[in-house]
Structure 1
Amino acid sequence: MNGLVLIAHGSKKDLSNNEFRKLVDEIKEKDDKFSQIEAAFLEFASPEIATVVEKFIKDGISKIYFYPYFLNSGKHVSVDLPDIISELESNNTSVEFMLLTHFGKSEKISDIILEDISASI
C-alpha cells in the first residue's frame, strides 16, 4: 500500500494552515493511486511529518511518497526535508521512502498563472 504526505511549511496563522488542509482534502477526493493521503507541516503547525509517517506505518503503508508544497528550492527543500526523511528511513527500514520534486519545479505553474490572469482581465 502507498501513502502520500503533502508537506507545507506551516504558519502561526490557522487560516494559512487550513488553506493547505483544504487543498489536501481536494487532492484526496480526486486521487485514485494512494491508500492514504495526509497533510503534514515542517514547523508551526501539526501534524508533523514524523507523526503522519508513524500513522501510515501503523496502518500498513509500505511505501511513502513525500510531496513538498514549496515554491523554491531553499534550505527546507534542499536540506531539511531530505534530512528528516533520511532519519525516518533509518528508523523504519521495512518501509520505502520517496521524496518527490517540490511544487515549484512543476512545468505547469506558468500555465496556471497565465490562465488565472487571463480569467481576471
Structure 2
Amino acid sequence: MPSSRRAILLIAHGSRRLQANAELENVAESLRQRGHFDFVQPAYLELAEPTIEQGAAACVAHDARVVILLPYFLSPGRHVAEDLNAACQQLRRLYPHVHFAVAPPLGQHPAIIDILLHHAWETLAKTETPPSR
C-alpha cells in the first residue's frame, strides 16, 4: 500500500441516543462514497464508541499515513479548541509515524450559511398558510 494513504477521522460529540449517533455514520458513509480519502472512520468525543483513540487505531490499521481529525461541530468551543487538539497531540505520541491534523469546525463557512437559509426558507414555506375564513 502506498505510504501516502489519507484518512478522515470524522468526530462528533456523541450521544446516548442511538439515532443521533447514526447521523454521523450516515455522514461518514457519504464521505466514503465521494472517494476523496482512502478511509473514513467516524468517532465520538464522549458518550459513544468508537472513541477518538479507537477510531484513530482503525485508521492506522488501514495503513493511513495522514489522518485528518474532522470535527462535525459548528463552532470552535471547548471541545474543538481544547479536547480535539489534546487528542491530536496524544495520537501523535501513540503513532509517531502518522501525521495527524485537526481541521476547523464547520463554523461560518459560506456553505453552512446557504444551508441555514435553505432550511429557514423550507420551514417558512411549510408554515405560511392562508388564514382560515
Instruction: Using structure 2 for the length normalisation, give the TM-score.
Output: 0.84
2:71 is aligned to: 68
1:98 is aligned to: 101
Which deviates the most, 41-50 or 56-65? 56-65
| RMSD, aligned α-carbons | 1.2
2:129 is aligned to: none
**Match status 1:86 vs 2:89:** yes
1:116 is aligned to: 119
Note the C-alpha offset of 1:106: 2.1
Note the C-alpha offset of 1:119: 3.1
Which deviates the most, 1-10 or 65-74? 65-74
**Aligned pairs, how many?**
120
Identity of aligned residues (%): 27
- Which 5+ residue runs of structure 2 have no aligned equivalent? 126-133
Contact 1:3-1:37 at 8 Å conserved across structures: yes
Instruction: Using structure 1 for the length normalisation, give the TM-score.
Output: 0.92
Contact 1:41-1:47 at 8 Å conserved across structures: yes
What secondary structure does 1:104 align onto? coil
- Which 5+ residue runs of structure 1 have no aligned equivalent? none
Contact 2:44-2:50 at 8 Å conserved across structures: yes
Q: Could you tell me how far apart the structure 2 residues matched to 1:103 and 1:37 are?
A: 18
Structure with larger Rg: 2
